[in-house]
Amino acid sequence: MADFLMPSLGADMEAGTLVEWKVAPGQAVKRGDVVAVVDTDKGAIEVEIWEDGVVAEILVPTGTKVPVGTVLARVRGAAQAAAPGAGPPPAVPAPRREVEAPRPAAAAPPAAMGSGQARASPAARAKARELGVDLSSVAGTGPDGAVTLADVEAAAGKAAAAAPTSARAAPVAGAAAPGMRQAIAAAMARSKREIPHYYLALDVDLSRALAWLARENERRPVTERLLPVALLLKAVARAAREVPEMNGFFVDGAFRPAGSVHLGVAISLRLGGLIAPALHDVDRLDLSAVMRGLNDLVARTRRGGLRSSELSDGTLTVTSLGDMGVGEVYGVIYPPQVALVGFGRVQERPWAAGGMLGVRPVVTVTLAADHRVSDGIRGAQFLAVVDRLLQAPEAL
């Protein structure tokens, strides 16, 4: 008999609310099946099981909020019990409970909540909290029946806040769910306290990559078009294979390199807040698959529907603020990872090459890395590999 636990979906999660069981007692499950949906500050997450067996008993009813590590169900027939609460082995460390965030959630009594609650985007969730709307009572009109911000506002009988100069709802400081802000704060404070970051930057000429991309997109149907970010992610993933000190976890005083390259992709939520779910095995995907995976990941991040493995097994995070016009970004490493790669905006800049001065599209690639694991020279080698790979886009 094995226990199926409330998983830790990242270093910043303390508790979750069980909103839906996808299985019933007596039902057979196999590794990778989604067995439950858990509501967290990161939206509704589909939780996978990591062993084969038969569900013997369900211990936590829907609508109950419980701390990370709580036994949710028992599973019979699982020969080797997996590490409690661990995501897909081997990458994920055991649940980390040492986050020094306040723990109101764990101490609170189970929150009453309707069963079968609809998915809701984190923005809708924040608004519902602000307006005192019970999400389970709202009919969702978004993709897959997701509750949208508009649904919440309609339910509250309030018109959208008028934005004086443009249509979009103005993001305001702290607009993200308070729980998410607190979770980000806890993880980032821990990172800055524990990880001796070092920072490097390299300007990379993207003229070859972008020219190749333009030619490629001309012959592709619109649904198969690639964005530059697909090339950047693939280059980072392959560089991580060549310089493994950037890819893995620092746990219990030692570095554990990861066997796979699962890139955490920092995705901003439309009304504030940030989630970095993992795109799996990017080093082995072709560019079309990277693009499809990224599309899917962004859509599910914004409407709810991420999987537990995607939140817990990123091995290296990439952030790109280019669309915002930022030239370079120096990131804060997401523990227990050991590095973060940042891309700024692609800008036309004067560029000297072969004794000639010309204008080229250039991006500044930055690396924040953990000095407990690597030195600047390895970081420099890593960035040089990213550059080299981007000079041969057809081989990515």
Partner 1 sequence: MNAAEIREVVLSILGGIAPEVDLARVRPDADLREELDIDSMDVLRFVVGLSERLGVEVPEADYPLIRTLDGCVAYLAAHGAAPRQQAGPAAQGAGA
Residues that bind partner 1 (CB under 8 A): 121, 123, 142-143, 148-150, 160, 163, 166-169, 171, 214, 217-218, 221-225, 227-229, 270-271, 291-292, 294-296, 298-299, 303, 323
For residues 388 and 380, give the distance between their C-alpha atoms in angstroms, rounded to a whole number.
12
Of 267 and 311, which has the nearer Cβ to partner 1?
267
- Answer for the pair 69, 5: CB distance below 8 angstroms, yes or no: yes
Q: Where are the beta strands (DSSP E) in 68-188?
A: 71-76
Share of the chain residues as helix, strand and coil, in percent rounded to the nearest 5: 30, 25, 40
Q: Where are the beta strands (DSSP E) in 129-275?
A: 197-205, 248-251, 254-257, 263-265, 267-268, 274-275
Please state the φ and ψ torsions of residue 204, each to the nearest 5 degrees: -120, 130
State the DSSP code for 253. T
Please state the φ and ψ torsions of residue 376, each to the nearest 5 degrees: -55, -30
Please state the φ and ψ torsions of residue 126, each to the nearest 5 degrees: -65, -40
Shortest separation between residue 337's beta carbon and partner 1, angstroms: 23
Shortest separation between residue 223's beta carbon and partner 1, angstroms: 4
- Report CA-CA distances (Å) from 200 to 10, 51, 224, 322: 26, 41, 34, 18
Of 146 and 186, which has the nearer Cβ to partner 1?
146
Of 59 and 298, which has the nearer Cβ to partner 1?
298
Shortest separation between residue 167's beta carbon and partner 1, angstroms: 4
Shortest separation between residue 301's beta carbon and partner 1, angstroms: 11
What does 45-61 look like in DSSP terms, one character per residue? EEEE--S-EEEEEE-S-
Of 39 and 151, which has the nearer Cβ to partner 1?
151
Shortest separation between residue 145's beta carbon and partner 1, angstroms: 11
- Answer for the pair 276, 314: CB distance below 8 angstroms, yes or no: yes
- Answer for the pair 360, 203: CB distance below 8 angstroms, yes or no: no
Shortest separation between residue 63's beta carbon and partner 1, angstroms: 26
Shortest separation between residue 169's beta carbon and partner 1, angstroms: 5
Of 202 and 227, which has the nearer Cβ to partner 1?
227
Of 201 and 229, which has the nearer Cβ to partner 1?
229
Shortest separation between residue 27's beta carbon and partner 1, angstroms: 28
Of 31 and 215, which has the nearer Cβ to partner 1?
215
Of 306 and 338, which has the nearer Cβ to partner 1?
306
For residues 133 and 116, give the distance between their C-alpha atoms in angstroms, rounded to a whole number.
16
